[in-house]
Amino acid sequence: MKPVIAAAGKTPTWHLFLGVALVGAIAPFVVYPTFLMKILCFALFACAFNLLLGYAGLLSFGHAAFFGGSAYVTGWLCKQVGATPELGLLAGAGFGALLGAVFGGLAIRRAGIYFSMITLGLAQLVFFLALQMKFTGGEDGLQGIPRGKLFGLVDLNDSMTMYWFVLLVFLGGLFVVYRTIHSPFGQILKAIRDNEPRAISLGYDVDRYKLLAFVISASLAGLAGSTKSLVFQLASLTDVHWHTSGQVVLMTLLGGLGTVLGPVVGAATIVGLENVLADKVGPWVMVIMGVIFVVCVLAFRRGIVGELAALRSRGGADH
């Protein structure tokens, strides 16, 4: 698989993280924090997804299973067992990794387009389990999940405190993605994405690399879902539905495949758009999302960040 990827920019690491942290620090004074937390959760989700599609060239259509599955696990632990939020999140990320190992182990047995169909099928399996099992609360989902006290000390019920915590989780997740991409491991992933037979002939066990990438991605997607369940104190069937899998694909595609910040921009755009449109056009949101999909695929394959990077590098070449 070889998606259209924008040329990588040469922004230094600390510039990037300082910039994101600064925007994150100023934003809650301008915009409603709960809305920002939703963006951060979906941004982390999209970054995790992008690690797989943008850098390993694997299109998973089942990432909602990790997002929603971990949301249930964290919700259940915090509500029924009384776990502290940090333990809940850790368990959620662990569950994502575990489920990712199962999904990945099965799906990488088939290449190309089958991979997407298998992940979609497995996620549908998880959806039906969530619908039928007792602990998920069926159609109602898990409601009233307590945010609790971080390490037993910091009360997260205050929305600003919760915001700083979510921002930290997000930056941590972004850092993991960034380090993965820029490690030798990430280089091999890109080599596999660009030319799998060549990577095999160089002696790399490509299936192991793909599987590890899948597990990291699933774990972070799980972390995103867990965080979401604490923010909204809700884990529901929407989180595990294939619509959510489609949404994260759209966010990544719109923002820019294979760019570090693309998924963040894409998530902010889609969540923002949904927020604005939900009041005005209601049910038309689905049609609009579909149209964005079609337009992105036909005319805008590099995504927002990818197009900007291309513009910048073209500008740089002129001078």
Partner 1 sequence: MEIFGIPSALLGSQLLVGLINGSFYAVLSLGLAIIFGLLNIINFAHGAQYMLGAFVALLASKYLGVNYWLALLLAPLTVGVLGVVIERTMLQRLRGLDHLYGLLLTFGLALILEGLFKNFFGVSGESYEAPEALSGGVDLGFMFLPLYRGFVVVAALGVCLMAWYLIERTSLGATLRAATQRPDLVQALGINVPVLITATYAVGSALAAFAGVLAAPIFQVNPVMGSNLIIVVFAVVVIGGMGSILGSIVTGLGLGLIEGLTKVVYPEASAVVIFLIMVIVLLLRPAGLFGKQA
> Interface residues with partner 1 (CB under 8 A)?
1-4, 59, 106-107, 109-114, 116-118, 120-122, 124-125, 128-129, 132, 242, 246, 249, 253, 283-287, 289-294, 296-298, 301
Cβ 247 to partner 1 shortest distance, Å? 10
The span from the CA of 221 to the CA of 215, in Å, is 10
Of 114 and 175, the one with the shorter C-beta distance to partner 1 is 114
315 token code pair: 């500008």
Nearest CB to partner 1, comparing residues 184 and 201:
201
Residue 122 or 237: the one with the smaller Cβ distance to partner 1 is 122
Minimum CB–partner distance for residue 3 and partner 1 (Å): 6
Closest approach, Cβ 64 to partner 1, in A, equals 12
Which residue lies nearer to partner 1 by CB, 74 or 252? Answer: 252
- We find the least distance from the C-beta atom of residue 116 to partner 1, in angstroms, to be 6
Nearest distance, CB of residue 226 and partner 1, angstroms: 24
CB nearer to partner 1: give 164 or 242: 242
Contact predicate 230/78, CB 8 Å: yes
Taking alpha carbons only, the member of 312, 306, 316 closest to residue 5 is 306
Supply the minimum distance, in Å, between the C-beta of residue 125 and partner 1: 4
Instruction: CB nearer to partner 1: give 153 or 298.
Output: 298
